[in-house]
Structure 1
């Protein structure tokens, strides 16, 4: 079994190091191809107007000057001798649940792998944004191996990926595993307006998570209740229920 690992937090981030240790529980054939720098929030973006550069760190480890999506393409189409059997993305610093998945470079790695015909799983570790910033990667690392084995044995259908989130708690406080649907957030991003030393305005996008639908069965509910969330996601974004209604207008 050959596994490719990537992420959006950058090569050498604590989460990707933890994920490599997990992957090596499954196989010795592990490749890591990840962005040279933090690329969080870039979603499924491509680098089209600049060249890509891949730096070989050591055997089967590459840092790419590009986006998370670039990394998966470079790995599968250029750097690896053969396509991997499985792509793992993460472990992300922070949960990727509800509407956040649309921004996530971690999920985008899994999307790109799925588009290229390779089964993929995204993994993220929740933590307290308002706390001391400590991310309990040991929780994800303790439980990820068993989750990955079960998902792999069950199989990942063509055109789908699996999004796994671990709750913000110690490994022994995890209350179980729940297969969930995607929840929703109120949009929480704000613009932080500032003025520089030359009296010119500039702006930061200030990320803040809005209120979340914590309905039973959602990824957000599972995380809020210290459960590991496992969410199958489809690349097909078609509103199938709305097809006939819209067709009637034409």
Structure 2
């Protein structure tokens, strides 16, 4: 809205998040956090969607334990700085989907979106009328979604204590954009991981 209304003219990047809860695998496709970053990329800005896994290390949509944002936010800020610095070298319509694990990340890894395993009747439903005269259908305890957990995937990365970065490009007709974005992401992640090692500790 700010861009379309002319309320700002010096946007360097679009950062969507940090979302409460990870946006991983197939589930990322209906994430408003990622959707907002995609909109930013469509408008020509380097864009990043950031999400934080809950403190308990689970993958549920509804959290019961809270979030620790400090480490993930520090890591996210470094990624955004690099995107702004390299803006002219990034392919147009580029998005990074960043997910921070429950605890401070061991390092950052380049990851693909994992595949979710969909199962009918996998959610236990409780039927009640609570004395109101109509039926209500609910579940008392949300289960973690089931993913394949493939090596190199974002779900595997967070499960193993790493932050994941999934590069996405929406320049539909540019056959080389995705390849260039992947090459940039690999170099950037390697540089950031090296800086973490030099500092001698995890982020922050």
Normalising TM by the smaller chain, what interval?
Answer: 0.5 to 0.7
Match of 1:24 in 2: none
Between the aligned partners of 2:159 and 2:118, the Cα distance in structure 1 is 19
SS at match of 2:50: strand
TM-score scaled to structure 1, two decimals? 0.56
Match of 2:46 in 1: 119
Q: Does 1:184 align with 2:184?
A: no
Between the aligned partners of 1:224 and 1:230, the Cα distance in structure 2 is 14
SS at match of 2:2: helix
Between the aligned partners of 2:147 and 2:74, the Cα distance in structure 1 is 27
Match of 2:167 in 1: 232
Gaps of 5+ in 1: 1-73, 241-250
Between the aligned partners of 2:172 and 2:154, the Cα distance in structure 1 is 19
Root mean square deviation, CA, Å: 3.0
Match of 2:95 in 1: 161
1:204 to 1:157, Cα distance in 2 relative to 1, 3 A: farther
User: How far did 1:115 drift?
Assistant: 2.0
TM-score scaled to structure 2, two decimals? 0.67
User: How far did 1:100 drift?
Assistant: 1.2
> How does 1:3-152 map onto structure 2 within 5 Å?
74-78=1-5, 80-82=7-9, 84-127=11-54, 128=56, 129=58, 132-152=64-84
Contact in 2 for aligned 1:125/1:135 (Cα 8 Å): yes
- Deviation string 1:110-130 (CA, Å, 9 cap, x unpaired) is 111122222210001111348
Match of 1:222 in 2: 157
More contact order relative to length (CA 8 Å, sep ≥ 6): 2
- Deviation string 1:129-153 (CA, Å, 9 cap, x unpaired) is 4885121111212322222223333
SS at match of 1:80: coil
Contact in 2 for aligned 1:179/1:231 (Cα 8 Å): yes
User: How far did 1:180 drift?
Assistant: 1.3
Gaps of 5+ in 2: 176-204
Contact in 2 for aligned 1:76/1:83 (Cα 8 Å): no
Match of 2:132 in 1: 198
